[in-house]
Chains A and B, each alone.
Chain A
Amino acid sequence: MSDKGKRKLRGNIEGNARALATGFKYLVEPNRMTLDYPVESMKLAPNYRGFFTVDDKKCIGCSMCEMVCPPEAITMIPRVISTTGYTLPVQQGATQEAGAKPAKKTKRPVVNWGRCIYCYFCFDICPVDAFVSSNIHDLAFYNDADYRPSYEEYLKLPEDPVKKSKKVIPKPDIKRGIKYEPAP
């Protein structure tokens, strides 16, 4: 066998042995990078853009959010203001306050979650800061209709699916690449 052939053979054997040894090392002491998701979940920043709702009392129905919404996810629906300060559907408001002075007509935004891109432009443009943010983001709907909530459904935030999970924060690590530490 030539000198070059010998070197190549030794390289082959060495390379295979090293590959197997590395694999075995990781098998014995696993170095997992995956987040064990529903059990652990990442602690999100306070200004994280998740699902949001609107403060019914603060909103003035100016339709600026509908105008600015890039994917046209926000629709303004007609409402009437009741005596408590909260809005009511147009029909209900009309019957309830039939004898009294005419109810004041207004509009309120409703978001189509299938369209929303969570850009929060509506938050920026709102003149009275009526939108309420949350960092709930990991939620899917079972039905197509659930993506388009009614105004009453839209007013309450969806429940956080990972509320009970252990919160962790990712840390870069030289040896492992990424490491999850329990959040303070």
Chain B
Amino acid sequence: MGILLLIIWLIQDLLYLIVFPGLIVAMVLVILLIYLERKIAAKVQMRFGPLYVSRKVGGALQSISDLLRFSFQEFILPVGSDSIAFLMAPGFMFAFAMMPLIFIPVGPYYSYLFPSTLTILFSVALITITPIYAIIVGWASDNKFSFIGSLREALLVISYEIPLLLSVIAMVIVYKTLNYIPAVAFQETHLPGIILNPIAALVFIIVAIRSTGRFPFDITEADSELVMGLYTEYSALFFGIGMATPYIELYALSLIFSLLFLGGWWPASGHATGLLAGLFMPGVMVIIKAFIVMIVLVFLRAVYPRYRVDQAIRSGWERIIYLGIIAVIISILEAIII
């Protein structure tokens, strides 16, 4: 009986990690998101965007054809590179970008690998690991553009991690828990987090844009200055993994945002038992919310120009961090009142 339970637990965890909110759904969403990003930017900038691959559906298969192209390209290992780090770092980056999903629940009854009461803390902590591998990529490539890109990443990470933690801490103070499920339950009984503390939501959004390298903080991959930033020397599938990593990070951050600020699985709360209503409907609700957040964030590409490094760092240390402190103060006041 114990072994059977263990097997069921393992299957559920594999489903969780590989199929539903994990790898497969994430990859489908990323492919869709890259297409939408290009199409939205094209529409705003008076262009057509991807069109000629599958013209009848408006070029929707463009991302898939790109993926196929990356898969069959020749991989080139630069002569001067530190080959082991060069080969390993993108994989680690991708893995660590996926890892917060272990701790992010997409439903009150849909279990995840390590049932814990500190899931918010763990997921946010895991998000801050990815930049280390970005720095390793820049070092291993033996390329000035990659190296400058990784240095910029290092500078920016330091200036933006504290506001991220502050905005999450602000919400933790309001919800009085470090676990996502009671946090969502709190929002169901009271108000969604974005109304309770809009400044924390704003800070979280800005930091999410920053840490995934969306515009206007597209500094580490500034194509006009640094060719392709960190991934200048990469080709083939490794480049594809490197390109998908920020989008996976964006996915994880959007899931966290929808759980902490948008009420999580709020309209589909999953009180009913059963596979569909109990397990998947809340998850679908969370992912729809997260996808809307992702679309809004990639829409910014069409509107904003790029910040300079010093401007971005100054805004991080001089404005965003104060906004984070203000958010914490608001939360403390609210916690006293509620």
- Listed in ascending order, the chain A residues whose CB lies under 8 Å from chain B are 19-20, 22-24, 26-27, 30-34, 36, 177
Contact = CB atoms under 8 A, between A and B. Distances in A.
Interface string B283-315: 000000000000000010011100000000000
Interface size band for B: 10 to 19
Interface of B: 40, 43-48, 51, 299, 302-304
Contacts of B45: 26
A34 B40 contact: no
A34 B46 contact: yes
15 contacts: A19-B304, A20-B303, A23-B44, A23-B299, A23-B302, A23-B303, A26-B43, A26-B46, A26-B302, A27-B43, A27-B302, A30-B43, A30-B46, A32-B46, A32-B48
Most buried by B among A22, A24, A26: A26
Contacts, number: 35
Most buried by B among A24, A32, A33, A177: A32
A34 B299 contact: no
Contact of A36 (B48, B299, B302): B48
A177 B46 CA distance: 11
Nearest to A26: B44
Contacts of A24: 299
B145 to A, nearest CB: 29
Contact of B46 (A19, A20, A22, A33): A33
B223 to A, nearest CB: 20
B46 A27 contact: no
A2 to B, nearest CB: 15
A20 B46 CA distance: 16
